[in-house]
Structure 1
Amino acid sequence: MLLSVRVIPRSGRNKLEWDGTKIKARLTAPPVDGAANEALIALLAQQLALPKRSITIVRGATSRHKTVAIEQLTSEELKRLLQ
């Protein structure tokens, strides 16, 4: 499944916010040398109880707006886990 995520780096804490259609990821990591991307993958893996290897950034690696591919997860499971 593909997921649209807006990343806000250098936040006070790592947190996912779900508004029903989009995910906003607040990350403590700076947007330097892929640190924010790694933090995003780690946070999604933790929140969704999936291994990191099942989450990849397919679009927007250097942008705040990213498209993330998640294996082994349906949209219904995603909604349940993020609420």
Structure 2
Amino acid sequence: MKKGRFLWSAHRITERQKAGKARSIKGKQLKNSRNTVSKQLVEHHSSVRDKHTFQHVQFQKDFTTPQDFRLGEFFND
């Protein structure tokens, strides 16, 4: 009963397979790091936009009538 010549190597990983696995892992890490950077940029831009929108709303609340702009005396003639 001759099963195979190299049974000892049936479960060994070749150098080519090791290199392929390393490339795969490195690629995933690079992809994840790119996603992290883009997420941080999106969060940064959205927080700036939200701050600007909030300031705009505050400005609208503060000045709702012509009298608030000190233009009331021009319109009272």
Same fold (TM over 0.5): no
**Class of the TM-score when normalised by the shorter of the 2 chains:** under 0.3
Greater share of residues in strand: 1
Normalising by structure 2, what TM-score? 0.23
Higher Rg of the two aligned structures: 2
Structure with higher RCO (Cα < 8 A, 6+ apart): 1
Normalising by structure 1, what TM-score? 0.21
Greater share of residues in helix: 2
